[in-house]
């Protein structure tokens, strides 16, 4: 079988993505019914972390265990990559030990280089430009609540040049959803990804709109998303970002023009009182903990397909 990687949402077709989501929902229901699987018995997933994580590590590790496999946590301090060994050599060596690699790192070019040289599937656990596993879980959560994804409107309020924004844009375009993004000036999404999603919308339906006005972007939205204003790597800009994003908080006043049965999602960790008010993230339209749980189920479906 030809090796497949999952570096961005669009590495899989719409049909393949929907099949993954439906398989994830099935696995979730079976898990809650006490049904266990051993599809990955004897398989090992190597997990390279150059950025720390709660949900990514635990969801992949628990998911592999539930499928009968094993996961190895590899901090960059624990392997020779952190001491200057090349990606080429690391990828070649690890390919001889494990059946797949999940990598959570900084530059997206680094994970692309891993995929180039590795002989086993590479899964993007997060880079500075993309977060496909999170968006796969987001789409699963929306499908569980709303059913058909086509034609729904997602709205992201916050930093447009952000891995979550980019992957959400790609996911919406792949599924034929409408995607609205509102960000302050200077924080617009990547031009390359914007051009890519416009092309995808021409094929799959839906549309992409960007605005500097959060109230205009959120009007009639079915799904509202945000993320922290200063992601990992942006900590030195925190004070500046707090000032520039002050009018972009998702709160009761802002969501008043959204669809009455809107869903609120957040990839977590969240900073209540900054990007979102406590009344929204802890309110009745919030699905953030279901979304966090779905990371594991969505990734189990992905692991089964790739490994």
Annotated catalytic sites, by residue?
A: 104, 131, 134, 227, 267, 295
> Residue 47: helix, strand or coil by DSSP?
strand
Q: Is 10 annotated as a binding residue?
A: no
Q: Is 227 annotated as a binding residue?
A: yes
| Helical pair 55-66 and 288-306, crossing angle rounded to 10 deg | 50
Q: Is 131 annotated as a binding residue?
A: yes
Q: Is 89 annotated as a binding residue?
A: no
Question: How many alpha carbons fall within 13 Å on the CB side of residue 119?
Answer: 8
Q: Is 260 annotated as a binding residue?
A: no
Sort strands 178-182 and 208-211 into parallel, antiparallel or unpaired: parallel
Query: Tell me, what DSSP letter sits at residue 98?
Result: -
269 preceded by a cis bond (ω within 30 of 0): yes
Q: Is 155 annotated as a binding residue?
A: no
What secondary structure, in 3-state letters, does 102-164 show? Answer: EEECCCHHHHHHHHHHCCCCEEEEECCCCCHHHHHHHHHHHHHHHCCCCCCEEEEECCCCCHH
Q: Is 80 annotated as a binding residue?
A: yes
> Residue 243: helix, strand or coil by DSSP?
helix
Q: How far apart are CA 22 and CA 121, in angstroms?
A: 21
Q: Is 285 annotated as a binding residue?
A: no
Q: Is 203 annotated as a binding residue?
A: no
Q: Is 70 annotated as a binding residue?
A: no
Q: Is 56 annotated as a binding residue?
A: yes
Q: Is 132 annotated as a binding residue?
A: yes
> Residue 180: helix, strand or coil by DSSP?
strand
Q: How far apart are CA 180 and CA 156, in angstroms?
A: 6
Q: Is 163 annotated as a binding residue?
A: yes
Structure tokens at 248: 């972009």
Q: Is 232 annotated as a binding residue?
A: yes
Instruction: Name the binding residues for carbamoyl phosphate.
Output: 53-56, 80, 104, 131-134, 267-268, 295
Annotated binding site for L-ornithine: 163, 227, 231-232
Binding residue numbers: 53-56, 80, 104, 131-134, 163, 227, 231-232, 267-268, 295
């Amino acid at each position: 079988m030809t090796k497949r990687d999952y570096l961005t949402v669009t590495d899989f077709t719409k049909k393949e993505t929907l099949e993954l989501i439906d398989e994830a929902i099935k696995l979730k229901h079976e898990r809650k019914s006490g049904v266990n699987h051993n599809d990955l018995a004897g398989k090992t997933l190597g997990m390279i972390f150059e950025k720390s994580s709660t949900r990514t590590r635990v969801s992949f590790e628990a998911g592999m265990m539930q499928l009968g496999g094993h996961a190895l946590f590899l901090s960059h301090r624990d392997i020779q990559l952190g001491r200057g060994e090349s990606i080429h050599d690391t990828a070649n060596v690890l390919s001889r030990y494990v059946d797949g690699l999940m990598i959570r790192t900084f530059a997206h070019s680094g994970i692309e280089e891993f995929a180039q040289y590795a002989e086993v599937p590479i899964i993007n656990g997060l880079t500075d430009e993309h977060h496909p596993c999170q968006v796969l879980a987001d789409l699963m959560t929306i499908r569980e609540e709303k059913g058909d994804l086509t034609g729904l409107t997602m709205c992201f309020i916050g930093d447009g040049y952000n891995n979550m924004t980019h992957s959400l844009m790609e996911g919406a375009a792949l599924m034929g959803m409408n995607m609205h993004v509102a960000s302050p000036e200077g924080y617009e999404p990547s031009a390359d990804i914007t051009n890519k999603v416009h092309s995808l919308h021409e094929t799959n339906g839906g549309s992409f709109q960007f605005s500097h006005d959060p109230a205009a972007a959120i009007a009639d939205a079915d799904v509202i998303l945000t993320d922290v204003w200063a992601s990992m790597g942006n900590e030195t800009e925190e004070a500046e970002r707090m000032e520039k994003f002050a009018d972009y908080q998702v709160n009761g006043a802002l969501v008043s023009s959204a669809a009455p049965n809107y869903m609120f999602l957040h990839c977590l960790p969240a900073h209540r009182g900054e990007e979102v008010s406590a009344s929204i993230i802890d309110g009745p339209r919030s699905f953030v903990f279901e979304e966090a749980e779905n990371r594991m189920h969505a990734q189990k479906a992905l692991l089964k397909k790739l490994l």
